[in-house]
Amino acid sequence: MHKKILVTGSRGMLGATLLPLLKNYDTLGIDKGNCDITNKSSLAKTIGNLKFDVVVHCAAYTDVDGAEGKTGSAFLVNEEGTRNVIESINNKDCFFIYISTDYVFDGNKKTAYTEEDIVNPLSIYGKSKLAGENLVAGLNKYIIIRTSWLFGPNGKNFISTVLRLAKEKETIEVAGDQIGSPTYTLDLAKAISDIINIYFTKGITSGIYNITNTGFCSWAELARYIIKEAGFKTHVAEIKSKELKRAAQRPKNSMLSKEKFKGLSGYYLPTWQKAVQHYLKNYLLN
């Protein structure tokens, strides 16, 4: 009998990339177009009679700056939506995978964050995602995946934005004082698929795993790399993040240690440079 998997946010940047990798399972994808996770009756109608072995909860409110003025909306999706999905699952032994964020940290640590480090989100977005984490941590079988700086097909992201601006301007201003790991949805989706396979074959101890591409950079360094690889001459002016006057405060240090995931899977994700090259070649520059 095929194992049954539910993927929420199945039309989003990560969910849409993950679904094709799960074709060997009996997989159902739901998105706000066909099922509203903030609406219990909508969930009950769509998944109420189904029994899932695994849930991958990708659906989220992800507008970091928008959340500062829409606290209710952020918590409605990221906390209440998560609670609704959990309560709608017709299987107490279901393995629940929750996609979280580096924004649960305040960025004051000088080295890479481990899964055991104390959380202290600076933004409404980070606080709402942490609220979802806390709900998931009460389940029998779960993992929380903290990732960062996502890019890939099926959604607006920093790389596509830089490429657009590079075509329009001679100089662009980018923050140089935030450090993290750009993460390619194709690589993250493969890691999630591998985690599901490991769960079915060996089992996994519940807990938190940091998963990002390998290596670290600033947003300014990333912008320079994108522009160089794309063959543009646009100048990147490095500025302080406070000069951008964004609504939400971001952690200066978003570096996440990937050693725990390496111990589970036996590998690190490719470098962020290789990931950017693949995305540019296959999706943006062809």
4-155+182-212+251-269 CATH fold: Rossmann fold (3.40.50)
In the residue annotation, 125 being an active-site residue is answered as yes
Element (H, E) at 7: strand 4-8
Which of 1, 179, 13 lies closest to 105 in space, CA to CA?
179
- 185-238 pLDDT, tens digit per residue, is 999 999 999 999 999 999 999 999 999 999 999 999 999 999 999 999 999 999
Nearest CA-CA partner of 188 in 27, 18, 61: 18
The pLDDT value recorded for residue 150 is: 97
For the chain, what are the domain ranges?
4-155+182-212+251-269
pLDDT, position 155: 82
pTM equals 0.96
Q: What pLDDT does residue 286 have?
A: 67
**Catalytic position from the list 98, 113, 125, 279:** 125
